[in-house]
């Protein structure tokens, strides 16, 4: 029997609750499709700080390197906000991305018909939206140097550097173009080339790579306009290619097209080695431990793990279908609750998902 190793990172806040649901579903779907999943649970973020003093213990990174795929729930909690930056949960996640060389972050945004009414935008604006944000994940202002905080002339000054090298842009651009070819054939590169030198290089390199992709229709958009277009007319987008910071912001905005950030999965990939699969939402400390979390983004992340990380396409499709069926049957967590629907907690939603999978 085929066996896959998954390193499981439950992290903080609602992480453990949604991980438990995803794991049950993964187990059920693996039995049905005749493969074995072996889990290695490791601490990251606040949970790892509590256990070891480090947000990304070397043993966790090592376990991720040895896995076939990594499934992460969420990290972070306000209680760690006063720690030095390199000791905070977020640094653990950034260290994991860098440590695994995960430069390509894929954040698909697809409206599930049953949720067309859940968005704060009009149904006719969002019906049929099917876009993919391709976010560069190991460069840009998140990782640029110099950075820091200095005191001079009686003032405090803090700074970061937004920098990209040609090869970093080229490789993420190729990921974007390749995905556009598999989808609608359109790529919109988002930058701020009217102001930033780093964005001008981004645009120049994307233009250069485009010559290898004559079948992709390339357009460019400034990030401020892209933020506006995403809520004005989101159907115009197929693949959005953008840098680390712009992608962070635009993907949260795009997530809300679906009505809740609790629905969106993501995949982070390098040129080799295991991918990292995680919901784009955070650890939601305000509802942690209360059985209120929406586990669907985590379940959909598990589906991405199956499809992209383990090439178990049929099992992935089953998980996605279970999510759609459960929503169609009117079950909702609090973030998506609507009139006439049945509100469930995280665990009960997990049970419904399991029933939908087996039904
Ligand atoms: C995300 C998150 C992270 C990011 C944080 C938690 C470091 O917002 O994955 O979008 O900024 O990349
Ligand atoms: Mg973010």
pLDDT digits (tens, 9 = 90+) for 124-154: 999 999 999 999 999 999 999 999 999 999 9
pLDDT of residue 301: 98
Regarding whether 286 and 196 lie in a shared domain, the answer is: no
Question: Which amino acid residue places its CA nearest to atom 10 of ligand 1?
Answer: 248
Regarding whether 230 and 129 lie in a shared domain, the answer is: yes
219 in a structural domain: yes
Report how far ligand 1's centroid is from the alpha carbon of 44 (Å): 14
Regarding whether 138 and 75 lie in a shared domain, the answer is: no
Ligand 1 atom closest to Cα of residue 251: 10
CA distance 253 to 233: 13
113 in a structural domain: no
Tokens 């985590």 correspond to 298
Tell me if residue 348 falls in helix, strand or coil: helix
pLDDT of residue 242: 98
**248 catalytically annotated:** yes
Regarding whether 162 and 79 lie in a shared domain, the answer is: no
Regarding whether 53 and 165 lie in a shared domain, the answer is: no
190 in a structural domain: yes
Regarding whether 270 and 190 lie in a shared domain, the answer is: no
112 in a structural domain: no
118 pLDDT above the threshold of 90: no
**164 catalytically annotated:** no
pLDDT of residue 159: 98
Identify the domain boundary among 235, 258, 281.
Answer: 258
Cα–Cα nearest to 72, from 277, 346, 218: 277
Identify the domain boundary among 258, 287, 312.
Answer: 258
The tens digit of pLDDT for each residue in 56-77 reads 999 999 999 999 999 999 999 9
Identify the domain boundary among 258, 284, 315.
Answer: 258
Cα three-residue angle 308-311-314, rounded to 5 degrees: 105
Report how far ligand 1's centroid is from the alpha carbon of 32 (Å): 34
Regarding whether 62 and 49 lie in a shared domain, the answer is: yes
Regarding whether 302 and 275 lie in a shared domain, the answer is: yes
Q: Which of 85, 246, 248, 285 is the pocket-test mutation for ligand 1 (most atoms within 8 Å of CB)?
A: 248
pLDDT of residue 260: 85
CB 185 within 8 A of CB 217: yes
The tens digit of pLDDT for each residue in 236-292 reads 999 999 999 999 999 999 998 988 888 999 999 999 999 999 999 999 999 999 999
351 CB within 6 A, ligand 1: no
109 in a structural domain: no
Q: Which of 77, 88, 93 is the pocket-test mutation for ligand 1 (most atoms within 8 Å of CB)?
A: 93
114 in a structural domain: no
**80 catalytically annotated:** no
pLDDT of residue 116: 83
CB 75 within 8 A of CB 92: yes
pLDDT of residue 261: 86
Mean pLDDT (whole number) for 94-109: 97
CA distance 326 to 314: 18
111 in a structural domain: no
253 CB within 6 A, ligand 1: no
195 in a structural domain: yes
Regarding whether 65 and 11 lie in a shared domain, the answer is: yes
Dihedral of CA atoms 267, 43, 295, 335 in degrees, nearest 10, equals -100
Both tokens of 255, joined, read 């997530």
The number of domains in the chain is 2
**Whole-number Cα distances in Å, 357 to 114, 312, 317, 321:** 17, 16, 10, 8
Which residue range is the domain that position 342 belongs to?
1-103+259-359
Question: What ranges in the chain are assigned the alpha helix state H?
Answer: 15-33, 46-52, 58-66, 89-99, 123-126, 166-182, 197-210, 223-232, 244-255, 296-304, 313-328, 346-358
204 pLDDT above the threshold of 90: yes
Regarding whether 334 and 230 lie in a shared domain, the answer is: no
Report how far ligand 1's centroid is from the alpha carbon of 38 (Å): 27
State the CATH number of the domain containing residue 31: 3.40.718.10
Regarding whether 263 and 249 lie in a shared domain, the answer is: no
Q: What is the pTM of this model?
A: 0.96
Regarding whether 269 and 249 lie in a shared domain, the answer is: no
pLDDT of residue 259: 84
């Amino acid at each position: 029997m085929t066996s896959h190793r998954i390193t499981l990172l439950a992290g903080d806040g609602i992480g453990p609750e949604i991980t438990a649901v995803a794991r049950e579903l993964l187990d059920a779907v693996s039995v049905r499709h005749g493969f074995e999943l072996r889990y290695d649970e490791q601490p990251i973020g606040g949970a790892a700080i509590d256990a070891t003093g480090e947000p990304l213990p070397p043993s966790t990174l090592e376990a991720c390197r040895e896995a076939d795929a990594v499934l992460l729930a969420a990290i972070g909690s306000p209680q760690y906000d006063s720690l030095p930056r390199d000791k905070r949960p977020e640094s653990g996640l950034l260290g994991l991305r860098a440590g695994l060389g995960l430069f390509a972050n894929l954040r698909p945004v697809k409206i599930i018909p049953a949720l067309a009414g859940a968005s704060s935008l009009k149904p006719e604006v969002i019906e049929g939206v099917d876009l993919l944000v391709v976010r560069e994940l190991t460069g840009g202002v998140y990782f640029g140097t110099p950075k820091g905080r200095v005191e001079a002339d009686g003032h405090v000054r803090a700074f970061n550097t937004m920098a990209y090298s040609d090869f970093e842009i080229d490789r993420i651009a190729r990921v974007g173009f390749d995905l556009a070819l598999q989808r609608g054939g359109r790529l919109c590169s988002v930058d701020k080339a009217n102001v930033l030198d780093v964005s001008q290089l981004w645009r120049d390199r994307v233009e250069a790579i485009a010559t290898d992709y004559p079948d992709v229709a390339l357009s460019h958009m400034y990030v401020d306009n892209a933020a506006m277009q995403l809520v004005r007319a989101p159907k115009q987008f197929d693949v959005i290619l953008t840098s680390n910071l712009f992608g962070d912001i635009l993907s949260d905005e795009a997530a809300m097209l679906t009505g809740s950030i609790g629905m969106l999965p993501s995949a982070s990939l390098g040129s080799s080695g295991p991918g990292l699969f995680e919901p784009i939402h955070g650890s939601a400390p305000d509802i942690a431990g209360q059985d209120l979390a929406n586990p669907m983004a985590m379940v959909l992340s598990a589906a991405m793990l199956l499809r992209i990380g383990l090439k178990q396409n049929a099992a992935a499709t089953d998980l996605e279908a279970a999510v759609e069926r459960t929503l169609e049957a009117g079950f909702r967590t609090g973030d998506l609750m609507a009139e006439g629907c049945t509100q469930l907690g995280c665990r009960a939603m997990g049970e419904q998902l399991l029933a939908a999978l087996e039904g």
